[in-house]
Amino acid sequence: MARKYFGTDGMRGTANVAPITPDCVLRLAQAAAARFRRGDHRHRVVIGKDTRLSGYMLEPAMTAGFVSMGMDVILTGPMPTPAVAMLTGSMRADLGVMISASHNPFQDNGIKLFGPDGYKLSDEDELEIERMMDEGVEALASPGSLGRAQRIDDAGRYIEFVKRSFPSTLSLDGLKVVVDCAHGAAYKVAPVVLHELGAEVVAFAVSPDGRNINRECGATKPQAMCEQVVAHGADLGIALDGDADRLIVCDEKGQVVDGDQLMALIAASWGADGRLKGDVVATVMSNLGFERFLEAHGIGMTRTKVGDRYVVEAMRAQGCNLGGEQSGHIILSDYATTGDGLIAALQVLAVLVADNKPMSETGRCFDPVPQLLKNARFEGVSPLENPDVKAAIASGEERLNGKGRLVIRPSGTEPLIRVMAEGDDGDLVEAVVSEIVAAVEVAASN
């Protein structure tokens, strides 16, 4: 069944434009409450947000929706997405809500929902919520059964939760770490965690004003962090995105270390000491060099479609404890139910401290094969059904056969076709991607 509101990671779009409007998210809250209001206990929902200006609009709208259904609301204020997931389970809430558009610019916003177990909702739950949003819920709460809302300051619970994931036998003493918080949800907690574990912390992008989240900073734009690392002579840099569920690192030379390299580092470490369970789960976008590295270490790889929720689903189904995306969503299920940039960073730091080598050595686990991703924007009907586009894709697959991979997919959040190819021949990769993108752009303009 086609989705109307939800994408690959919750609901997302331009703030104050449907569906990211107060009336729509109020209906979302009512429908989600109806779906998860089970039993006769006092129901509650945890709502967190990042630092976007539009959070001030969406938070009260969602609160009103839940309260109208008789659910009590716990408002955390700015808090990382993984913190909301953790608090949902820790506080025995029936639902968790994160108001965030992750790495998108401040003009966008979105809603991520977590079930009582702290995991993102299934396709079945999301489709049923969509149905109820359009058809309406059966009954609102009576005047005497309305919910209540309270605001809490419980960052300390999450800070201690994250710190417990770092080996007690190790310390960050002597390390200088730049942490780029993207002017986002982790701007308070991330520097505290690193400082309390012993690091000398250079905090960057920690002055949110509602409009500067992810602006030339954070995991999707790590260049500023890299420059800070070199300028301060730091041992490494850690960049989070707007809601702190993804991580990108740079070494002491200011060179970026992406999610594939970080997962390889953790996989090798965990595999060596017997902590790794099953395959490493990655998406179709992870580099072929990463897959070859795992194979050389006797570790299997399971690939999923793009989206950390699909990585988590595969991990749960197969009993794996490490998975993620090249973009930096890294899921460590021994500790968290969703991607957690801080917890992933601490696992990387644990390996760095134990190896006693610079990050430029520790963090370079494999040589990635040439990989190129280009986006083609379109309006209206997807051009992927166009005969010329199909022919270009078929030609590219034939040319790459046995020499690389080709992945074509529509974006789950924007009107884009993403074209990715990789292989040992960089010139061939460039030619294949360029030809397919050109075909998509011509089809989209007709």
Catalytic residues: 102
Q: What share of the chain is helix, strand, coil (3-state, %, to 5)?
A: 40, 20, 40
Q: Which amino acid is at 395?
A: S
DSSP-derived 3-state class of residue 406? strand
| Cα gap 239→226, rounded to integer Å | 9
Kindly state the DSSP code that residue 373 receives in the 8-state scheme: E
228: tokens are: 């800070």
| Cα gap 181→184, rounded to integer Å | 6
Kindly state the DSSP code that residue 371 receives in the 8-state scheme: E
| Cα gap 122→422, rounded to integer Å | 31
Q: Which amino acid is at 293?
A: F
- E strand spans, 94-199: 95-99, 108-114, 149-151, 176-180
Contacts of 80 (CB under 8 A, 6+ apart): 48, 158, 185, 186, 189, 240, 243, 244, 245, 340, 341, 342
* Contact by Cβ (8 Å): 329, 112: no
Residue 406 has φ and ψ, to the nearest 5°, of -130, 130
